[in-house]
Structure formats: C-alpha cells, structure tokens
Structure 1
Amino acid sequence: MAHVLNRVELLTSELVTNAYLHTKGPAPLRLTALGEGRLRVGVWDSHPYIPAPFARHPGDRVPPAPAGDLGGRGLFLVQELADSWGGWSLEDGLLDRGAGKLLWFEVGGKC
C-alpha cells in the first residue's frame, strides 16, 4: 500500500483536524483494509452535521476555496484525492459514542 501512503496521511490528517477543531468530545479513527489494495479510513465525531462533499451525491463537486482564504481546503482535498467518500449521521447511543457522524474515504486499488 506504499503507493497510497501520502494520500492516506494527508486525508486522515484533514478529517481528524476538522473533528478536533469543529466538535467537542472524542474523535475515534478506524482504518479498514478492504482487500485488493484498498483502504477505508473513518473518523467519528460528536457533531451530527455532515459537510460537503460527504453530504452530496457522488457526481456533485465542491468548488475550491478562494485563493485568499486561510481554510476550507481539507474537504476539497478529500474530494480530489480519495477514490470514494461518504458520511452517515449516527443516532444517539450508536457505537457508545452518542450522537454525531462518521465521515470516511477510500483509497487504493489503483496504481
């Protein structure tokens, strides 16, 4: 999986940083090997809001942040660099983490 390591590190950092900056509480991380060189990274957090591009249909695109903005590029990077991504709202008590959401992305399988 060496061919996807840089993408995994960057995109994981973006999701964890967003969870840290925009939510209260824990932000568990889970890596799942899916086979055939694919890896899924998921981050749970305590806020139920699912941001774009995770809340949009796969064909919808999120525009890049304006050049002068200091933030707003992380989720755009997920859209551009991940092979697939998604998000789910979590009901109260699900997985003993309370209400919140799970955001995930997948990479790999392509060289």
Structure 2
Amino acid sequence: MVTVAPPDTWTYALRLPHDPRAARVARMTVRAALAGHGMGEVLDVVELLTSEMVANVYRHTDGPASLRLTAPGGGRLRVGVRDGHPYIPAPFAKPPGDRLPPAPVDGEGGRGLYLVQEYADWWGGWPLGRGGGKLLWFEVGGRRRAPRVA
C-alpha cells in the first residue's frame, strides 16, 4: 500500500529543553523549514511569533516544551507550542475576534502575545488534561489579513 500526501503538506516536530537558548533554536528551525518549503513570505511573522511563544514557556514554566510546524496546504502554516503549565493566557483563551488592549508603554512585558493577535490569522489554546499542560497555536497564510493599527 502506498500513502500519498499532497506536496504542500508537511509537519516538523521538535522537543525544546527548558533553556534560555530554546527560542533561538526554535527560530533557526522555523527559518530552515520555511526556506526549504518555499514559504519565505510568512517567515518574518512566523519567526517572531514562534520566538515569543517559546520565550514565554521559558519565562513562565519550569519544564520542557515542544514545537510543531504543520503546513496543512493552501499556503497555510500552523505553529503549535506545548508546555506543562495548564494556564492558557490571553489572547489564546479568547476567540480570535476578541481583541486585547496593547500593553502599557512603560510595562515590562505583555507585548509578545499581543503580537499574535496583530499578525496571526487565527490562534487558540487547548488544555491537555490532567497534568498535561497546554497547547497554544497560531496560523498564518492563506487568508492573510493586514495587521490592525491601534
């Protein structure tokens, strides 16, 4: 039996240690995967948002994370980051139409996840059950929309 997948669908998975260099490893992985599949048009956005999400895992959890890049076809790319902490932060806890206000100018954080709602087409989060942590994801491509100007 032969299994056939459409040529524009693929998946990469990577386990990341709890290490401050994990965001860099994630960026390098995203860069290599997207370049190899001719998805340079979304590279900057995906690299930025992936880096923010992986950096948040390091800042707010004490365990490893995993990164999954999936191209389901049609020019779309879904990025998922899984960690062991159950809390699902905004904007992932809200539907994509619900907007969060920008972080205070003098605040020390809160900008990274705000970028997700500004540059991703869709996003979400799921709890993974008893002690399983969560999965946060975003999607770009296909239905690309312009970022909102506040």
TM-score (norm 2): 0.68
Alignment-derived partner of residue 78 in structure 1:
116
Aligned mates of 1:21, 1:10 — CA distance in 2:
16
Q: Deviations over 1:41-90 (max 9, x none)?
A: 00000110000011012321111001111211000000100000000001
Which residue of 56, 66, 73 corresponds with 1:28? 66
Alignment-derived partner of residue 84 in structure 2:
46
What is the aligned-residue identity percentage? 72
AA aligned to 1:107 is: V
CA RMSD of aligned residues (A): 1.2
2:132 matches 1:99: yes
CA contact (8 A) 2:83 2:134 kept: yes
Spell out structure 1 runs of 4+ moving beyond 3 A. none
Partner of 1:13, secondary structure, is: helix
Aligned mates of 1:27, 1:108 — CA distance in 2:
24
In structure 1, list runs of 5 or more residues that go unmatched: 93-97
Alignment-derived partner of residue 8 in structure 1:
46
In structure 2, list runs of 5 or more residues that go unmatched: 1-38, 145-150
Q: How many residues align?
A: 106
Larger Rg: 2
